[in-house]
């Protein structure tokens, strides 16, 4: 059960956030939304999700994701909710062809499983998920990744196997990466030199590509 904030504190926070939101340039809409989401969360705007409180703004994101499946988020039981936020989102084998840009609002997400779908691209807002520790993208039809994925500095697991990738993202930011799977793609030439800088890397799978040299 979450602790209720005093009404005066909530109103003060909401006012500060509203003023801050006005100062954010229009092109940073996702950041503006995230800031406003914090105010809504402080105000206690939750819904009941499988017997647990979930921030309403995060529930709306789940609804957008699962709209493609014709099901409600409540029909999926493999998610993990902690302190009103989604920390594990399991969309394994849901027939998804795209992700909404609003997924960037799930700022407390730590694990995201999107394996075995039909995704051809990821939204730039994926880079907002700074707390993400594991992202599983295997068995999709991805041909490239957004540059913003390099902002996921807390990743320990990056699974990209069995896609159609022809290039890899900027790797030097992945200082905590331990598991990296990129087999069964369409990578050619030499492997990125920056992979050699991943000091924490314990497992690397790069088979079934057209790589010709190692860094």
pLDDT tens per residue across span 123-169: 999 999 999 999 999 999 999 999 999 999 999 999 999 999 999 98
Read off the tokens for 81. Answer: 């909710």
Provide the percentage of residues in the chain whose pLDDT is more than 90: 64
What is the percent of the chain where pLDDT is above 70?
A: 79
Segment 166-189, tens digit of pLDDT: 999 888 999 999 999 999 999 998
Mean pLDDT score across all residues of the chain: 85
Would you say residue 103 lies in a domain? yes
Q: Is residue 4 part of a domain?
A: no
CATH number at residue 186: 3.80.10.10
Position 47 in a domain: no
Answer whether residue 99 is part of any domain: yes
| Residue 42 falls inside a structural domain | no
pTM higher than the cut 0.85: no
* Residue 28: inside a domain: no
Range of the structural domain that residue 84 is part of: 79-213
Q: What's residue 30's pLDDT?
A: 56
Q: What is the pLDDT of residues 2-59, one digit of tens each?
A: 444 455 654 555 555 455 544 545 445 655 555 555 544 444 599 998 889 999 999 9
Q: What is residue 100's three-state secondary structure? A: coil
E strand spans, the chain:
46-49, 52-55, 80-82, 85-90, 111-113, 134-136, 157-159, 179-181, 188-190, 203-205, 210-213
Q: Is there a domain that residue 7 lies in?
A: no
Domain count, the chain: 1
Please indicate, yes or no, if residue 145 is contained in any of the structural domains.
yes
- Residue spans of alpha helices (H) in the chain: 7-23, 29-42, 56-66
With tokens 């799930």, the residue in question is: 106
């Amino acid at each position: 059960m979450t602790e209720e904030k005093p009404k005066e504190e909530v109103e003060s926070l909401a006012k500060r956030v509203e003023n801050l939101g006005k100062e954010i340039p229009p092109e940073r809409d996702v950041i503006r939304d995230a800031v406003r989401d914090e105010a809504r969360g402080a105000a206690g705007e939750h819904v009941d999700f499988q017997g647990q409180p979930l921030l309403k703004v995060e529930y709306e994101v789940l609804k957008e994701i699962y709209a493609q499946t014709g099901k409600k988020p409540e029909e999926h039981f493999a998610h993990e909710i902690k302190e009103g936020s989604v920390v594990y989102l399991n969309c394994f084998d849901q027939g998804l062809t795209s992700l909404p840009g609003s997924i960037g609002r799930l700022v407390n997400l730590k694990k995201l499983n999107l394996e075995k779908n039909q995704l051809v691209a990821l939204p730039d807002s994926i880079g907002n998920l700074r707390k993400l520790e594991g992202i599983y993208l295997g068995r999709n039809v991805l041909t490239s990744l957004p540059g913003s994925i390099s902002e996921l500095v807390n990743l320990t697991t990056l699974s990209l196997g069995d896609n159609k990738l022809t290039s890899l993202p900027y790797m030097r930011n992945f200082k905590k990466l331990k598991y990296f799977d990129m087999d069964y793609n369409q990578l050619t030439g030499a492997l990125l030199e920056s992979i050699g800088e991943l000091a924490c890397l314990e497992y690397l799978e790069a088979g079934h590509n057209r790589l010709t040299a190692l860094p």
